[in-house]
Structure 1
């Protein structure tokens, strides 16, 4: 099932075209990564997908009732609440159900309600139904989930009553990631989520996202993270986008093969162009061959040119250095 589509997205900043006719699809349960050189438009595309930025052209189409959470790059959580209360805000609906259950329990002890057999039986049925809904949605687990996520993102030794607004920038970013994860949306969109994570936190995040029930779309410079998580790679290059099936290593192999094929096609076409140009040069002025030369010239002018492999790329692809245990980033 397709959860979200970005269709023919275009975006410019002044005279610079960042995105041009970009198409992207997020399938149910898919793990997709977006890669590209710095300035290729990765964060811009995520902002357009999430509605934080409007495209100049194109549209984003979401399936009905699909929830999306987005963590911007270095998008630290800003709040005057405590760490614990901020995490509880991911479970507002469950907390509301819990409060309804407590109110119903009070009514069960009301002598007036108990004296009315019909009303009391209906209350019991409603309570059973609401209790089942509460349990199915994780009502008995959400506090344990909060502790698990905070522990995994290196808040294990912190007082959860600590106000968010006194935390460091890195802590606020990790807390924003925690808030996104706890929201458990249908589509989780993360821009550089591995920033400010040590090796243990990074390993925990990889495992968490591998078992995540929803779809994940991530921008990351950590090739090992992408290799572990993704099954689809979108390569943003000079405004255009190409979809590759597989993880980052598979993408590198496929792109190299594609560039080799493109280079062969380019060389073959250049040879054809050279032969045609030579024919035109020799025959354009001759009376008996001028029409043939003019015909070849028109064919040459209409020819769709094959670009040299790599010509579209405006800069070098690079990956942030990882800790020693993950050395070898491209």
Structure 2
């Protein structure tokens, strides 16, 4: 279905892909995995012709239809959700219009023209019936409900939707189009648990091929049968799911390390022999032959160690007993999103918030912190609070370098201290000197986490912190939250991330009684 041969690509001095090859066979379910910033999204942009590689060839099957959901897809304004979803069947609606125009012509057609028109309309009618055209609305409803758009309302204007809801609309439209090849860049980022379960089942039953970029290990294990690992500009193919890839990759790394060490030892012995024997007439021949062996030997590079992030949150002095208490709090903007809420959070508790996207999880966090006005009611914050707040997404217009972004917030630090703090979060010198807006989602998240870790806090508020983060960074973040002595309020859609670090899970749907 797709063959990629000897593709290379870079940004300035930075090599993203170096002479990589890739193939996608019919029916294969492929996961493209790797650390943040290794070039997964760049690879997808290259194969979908959004980005020209520096070298190499990309050949698609002539019969392939490609559907691509990337992290930056947009929706046309002024349309309802249903309008956008019906766009998946645009070609069928055009056929219907063509057929209706033919019916109009029949009133003035000659016998010969009438026969031709009847044949053509019958053919179009058969195509529409076989394609399920007359059950389109039922199909739209089924897939939309599966991804949670039914609760939002298909007559809602797309202008009124949150970022997560927009992603759901684009994903739903893509699934309705049913292309022969589906390309999905982090599709679970804005989905909640039950909709991830639905998408998992959908992809398990998907007869066509797909390429998926994700850091959600259970999701990859359940949906993919081939893994491509991107690291240090190289692309390696593994058969099986993510767990099998981890096992085989570990073996490969040990073999490379062992081969490197063996060669170092062998070269040391040869060089030593040459040095000791090249001056003596009797042994000069043997020394020269060993020198030739050395000259012909392809020198192995030491396997590169990836920069591993280490996260830890600094504890401020203890806050008062109650972190916050609400009094008949109602969330909302122009209209109420919830009914009256009366609840409280005590010092030292670690709570995960879950619930449908668009139901108000981020709104609740922002209202509790006083960043957004309540629709009604009040929030009383406790004393001595030192809040660390992690926003779900970074601004697309941040022209600061990562270094300046942190330094502007902490001007008393030295250049060295800022660089050291960013490096601890797993960012290389190239990332540190790049503008935040050009960093990958995971790299930008690490910059925001870095700023949080330089502050003394006793109340940690995290809005979807695992979105975009690679597997190692997620593991490290989980450890840091576990070790943090203060209070935690966490919005997350990955139960395997939060289930063993929180004391309780609050389902917004329970205490908001759905959207009013």
Q: Tell me: CA distance 1:104–1:214, structure 2 relative to 1, closer, same or farther (3 Å).
A: same
DSSP-derived class of the 1:176 partner = helix
**Aligned pairs (5 A) from 1:68-87:** 68-87=66-85
DSSP-derived class of the 2:183 partner = strand
**Contact 2:30–2:225 (CA under 8 A) maintained in structure 1:** yes
DSSP-derived class of the 1:157 partner = helix
Q: What RMSD over aligned residues (CA atoms) do the two structures have, in Å?
A: 2.4
> Is 1:146 paired with 2:140?
yes
**Contact 2:71–2:186 (CA under 8 A) maintained in structure 1:** yes
Within 1, Cα distance between the matches of 2:300 and 2:498?
A: 34
Within 1, Cα distance between the matches of 2:105 and 2:205?
A: 40
Deviations 1:204-255 (A, max 9, x none): 1111112223210010001111111111111001001101111111111111
**Contact 1:76–1:169 (CA under 8 A) maintained in structure 2:** no
**Contact 2:149–2:168 (CA under 8 A) maintained in structure 1:** no
Which residue, 247, 251, 264 being the options, matches 1:253?
247
Which residue, 13, 17, 22 being the options, matches 1:19?
17
Q: Tell me: CA distance 1:213–1:142, structure 2 relative to 1, closer, same or farther (3 Å).
A: farther
User: Structure 1 residue 99: deviation in Å?
Assistant: 2.6
DSSP-derived class of the 1:140 partner = helix
Within 1, Cα distance between the matches of 2:264 and 2:179?
A: 51
DSSP-derived class of the 1:141 partner = helix
**Aligned pairs (5 A) from 1:138-217:** 138-217=132-211
How many equivalent pairs are there?
A: 321
User: Structure 1 residue 326: deviation in Å?
Assistant: 3.0
**Contact 2:146–2:198 (CA under 8 A) maintained in structure 1:** yes
Of structures 1 and 2, the one scoring higher in RCO (CA 8 A, sep 6+) is 1
**Contact 1:18–1:40 (CA under 8 A) maintained in structure 2:** yes
How does the TM-score come out when normalised to structure 2? 0.58
> Is 1:315 paired with 2:307?
yes
Within 1, Cα distance between the matches of 2:20 and 2:78?
A: 39
Q: Tell me: CA distance 1:74–1:222, structure 2 relative to 1, closer, same or farther (3 Å).
A: farther
Could you say which residue in structure 1 is the equivalent of 2:336? none
User: Structure 1 residue 95: deviation in Å?
Assistant: 0.9
User: Structure 1 residue 57: deviation in Å?
Assistant: 0.8
DSSP-derived class of the 2:281 partner = coil
Could you say which residue in structure 2 is the equivalent of 1:229? 223
Within 2, Cα distance between the matches of 1:14 and 1:36?
A: 21
Identify unmatched segments of 5+ residues in structure 2: 309-469, 479-491, 500-516
Within 2, Cα distance between the matches of 1:99 and 1:241?
A: 47
Q: Tell me: CA distance 1:264–1:328, structure 2 relative to 1, closer, same or farther (3 Å).
A: farther
Could you say which residue in structure 1 is the equivalent of 2:437? none
Deviations 1:140-196 (A, max 9, x none): 232222112211121112232222122111111221212222221111111111111
Q: Which moved more, 1:152-161 or 1:120-129?
A: 120-129
Within 1, Cα distance between the matches of 2:203 and 2:287?
A: 62
Could you say which residue in structure 1 is the equivalent of 2:442? none
Q: Tell me: CA distance 1:119–1:75, structure 2 relative to 1, closer, same or farther (3 Å).
A: closer
Within 2, Cα distance between the matches of 1:240 and 1:265?
A: 18
How does the TM-score come out when normalised to structure 1? 0.89
**Aligned pairs (5 A) from 1:26-175:** 26-104=24-102, 110=107, 116=111, 120-175=114-169
Q: Tell me: CA distance 1:35–1:237, structure 2 relative to 1, closer, same or farther (3 Å).
A: same
Which residue, 474, 496, 500 being the options, matches 1:326?
496
DSSP-derived class of the 2:152 partner = coil
Identify unmatched segments of 5+ residues in structure 1: none
User: Structure 1 residue 259: deviation in Å?
Assistant: 2.0
**Contact 1:237–1:313 (CA under 8 A) maintained in structure 2:** no
Deviations 1:91-144 (A, max 9, x none): 111112223344455667x4x66x94x655554443332222112222123222
Within 2, Cα distance between the matches of 1:235 and 1:313?
A: 15
Could you say which residue in structure 1 is the equivalent of 2:380? none
Which residue, 269, 277, 286 being the options, matches 2:271?
277
**Contact 1:76–1:175 (CA under 8 A) maintained in structure 2:** no
